[in-house]
Structure 1
Amino acid sequence: MADLVDDADGSPELLRACRHYVQRIENDNDPCSETNGEYRFLTDILPFCRTVFDVGACAGNWADKALEINPAAVLHCFEPIPAAQMALFGKVGGRAIINAFALGRENGEAAFFSSAADFEISSRFKRPSFASADLRQDILPVVSLSHYCRQHGVDHIDLLKIDVEGAEVDVLEGGIDLFRQGRIMAAQFEYGGTWLDSRRQLRDVFYLMAGTDYVLAKLMPSGYRVIPDYNASLENFCYSNWLLLQRELADAGAL
């Protein structure tokens, strides 16, 4: 073992190559939707979806792709940042229901931080990447997923996509009764370094979903890998996409 450590210390190129290989095998740190399995998953599931939620719709790229795959889907988009809302309306206005507020754990207001240089990295949390010179703070409305569904008569969600820069668990907590009642077929959420900012872990999702009929799975380029039990080794905070699937659905397509 000592020899292996010495070799790695003496060969940084080899160490980087090994890390890159592991990340590729584990599908970590690949933000490209065309290669990390995200678009493949959407192509497989969206034709069977009627009601789709895009939480953290930002400029509308994901929403536009979803409507390209299934133009008949009823798409509910949620985006609280004003600059992003303008881009979102330009991308899918007239084709989707656009909500100018965030989804979270409960109804109310919350501080959101954004950068004038790049609104796409806005967050509920002050991130290290924010430059203090152009940091903007806004107090914006937040609604829980369960409340929204009650108010708008949404009985079932076929696909719930969540990309909210570290607040993913808050969104799930705000709709936990929907999961307990089996009213969501599938959910996709981002995991990564933003969870350090929010002090969240994958463990929180495993614990939240305990007792429900859902399984967690990691999205892979050719499908998904069901993770039946939590293990601390999962917590690498590398960018990746995860799924919450009804057990029957997961059994049909797991790797």
Structure 2
Amino acid sequence: MDAIDLHSINPWEVSFLREEVGAYFANGVELPPGATVLDVGANVGVFSAAVYERLDGDVRIYAFEPLPPLHETLARNGRDFFGGRLTALPYGLAAAEDELDFSYFPAATIFSSSWRSADNVEAERRRVTASIVEMIRRGGLGAAARRVPAPLLRGLVGRKLRVMRQLETHRVRVRPLSAVLDEHGIDRIDLLKVDVEGAELDVLRGIEDRHWPLVRQAVVEVEGWQRHREEVQAVFAGRGFAVTAVQDPVQEAADIGMVFAVRAG
């Protein structure tokens, strides 16, 4: 993973993404050699790189990143690191063909989303602050940071995340996944990973009934956990998957969680 270019994102984002990667391979999720993996919400390719290394390069990855500054790095990483095994696609996924305004945070790229804007960024900053504070209180940055009093910690983290006030708006293309599967001739999906900062259900609605049998496993990070968890679970349960919903205390503070779906057999 160290071989890919990570200079376009901040060091704390790199640490966060690397820690997050391990959480995807749990609750029955396994990858066979020669797997086909869809990385939806790829950023610069940290998850894709972990998959590539995990399978010693015996994998086919389709990585989706609609924001031009991030896609440029993802595409370069695809050429330089993945030995032709990664296809970097310059659009996002949604229920239908469209163009959407995405908010891009240059100093906090992992929070970029079509669901964030200048209107809600302060509420989002408070939510993210609560999650990071909880992570630190549980030892995420070592014992010394854990001893900092909670009010001081909230102030420090909140000031650090003021970078979320610096945002750019990019008009980007989104497509339904079924159209992409047809276009690229993808005939199986061993793992569908979705981390799209609030647009999870839109991604799933872009899969037509004829394509659901191709999906063997999925892991979806769900934002707005209290509102959307049951609906995301129902999408998979209604199509024959064994579904596990997981939320740890850090995720609870941010109202997010993970849904794992594994097809029996």
TM above 0.5, yes or no, is yes
CA distance in 2, matches of 1:185, 1:211: 14
2:23 — aligned with what? 38
Instruction: Give 2:229's match in structure 1, choosing from 202, 219, 223.
Output: 202
**Shift in alpha-carbon separation, 1:84–1:43, aligned structure 2, 3 A:** farther
Instruction: Give 1:104's match in structure 2, choosing from 69, 87, 94.
Output: 94
CA distance in 2, matches of 1:33, 1:178: 34
Q: Offset of 1:115 from its aligned partner?
A: 1.3
SS at match of 1:63: helix
Preserved CA contact (<8 Å) 1:182 1:213? no
Instruction: Give 2:258's match in structure 1, choosing from 237, 241, 245.
Output: 241
User: How much identity, in percent, do the aligned residues show?
Assistant: 28
Q: Offset of 1:195 from its aligned partner?
A: 2.7
CA distance in 2, matches of 1:211, 1:40: 23
CA distance in 1, matches of 2:102, 2:63: 18
Q: Larger deviation: 108-117 or 58-67? A: 108-117
TM value normalised by structure 2: 0.65
1:25 — aligned with what? none
SS at match of 1:155: coil
Count of aligned positions: 201
CA distance in 1, matches of 2:21, 2:59: 24
Preserved CA contact (<8 Å) 2:59 2:85? no
**Could you say which structure has the larger radius of gyration?**
1
SS at match of 1:83: helix
CA distance in 2, matches of 1:35, 1:121: 14
- Note the alpha carbon deviations across 1:167-187, whole angstroms, 9 max, x for none: 1111111115256x4210000
Preserved CA contact (<8 Å) 1:42 1:66? no
Question: Which blocks of at least 5 consecutive residues in structure 1 are unaligned?
Answer: 1-30, 222-234, 250-255
- In the alignment, structure 1 residue 183 sits paired with structure 2 residue 214: yes
**Shift in alpha-carbon separation, 1:178–1:188, aligned structure 2, 3 A:** farther
Q: Offset of 1:49 from its aligned partner?
A: 5.0
- Note the alpha carbon deviations across 1:35-55, whole angstroms, 9 max, x for none: 885264499612345211000
Preserved CA contact (<8 Å) 1:36 1:220? no
Question: Which blocks of at least 5 consecutive residues in structure 2 are unaligned?
Answer: 1-15, 126-161
CA distance in 2, matches of 1:97, 1:79: 11
2:39 — aligned with what? 54
Q: Offset of 1:134 from its aligned partner?
A: 2.1
Instruction: Give 2:108's match in structure 1, choosing from 118, 126, 143.
Output: 118
**Shift in alpha-carbon separation, 1:143–1:53, aligned structure 2, 3 A:** same
The structure where helix makes up a greater share of residues is 2
Preserved CA contact (<8 Å) 1:158 1:185? yes
SS at match of 2:260: strand
- Note the alpha carbon deviations across 1:7-48, whole angstroms, 9 max, x for none: xxxxxxxxxxxxxxxxxxxxxxxx676588526449961234
SS at match of 1:47: coil
**Shift in alpha-carbon separation, 1:100–1:61, aligned structure 2, 3 A:** same
Q: Offset of 1:143 from its aligned partner?
A: 0.7
CA distance in 2, matches of 1:161, 1:36: 11
- In the alignment, structure 1 residue 87 sits paired with structure 2 residue 118: no
CA distance in 2, matches of 1:63, 1:42: 19
The structure where strand makes up a greater share of residues is 1
SS at match of 2:32: helix
Superposed structure 1 runs of 4+ greater than 6 Å apart: none
2:244 — aligned with what? 217
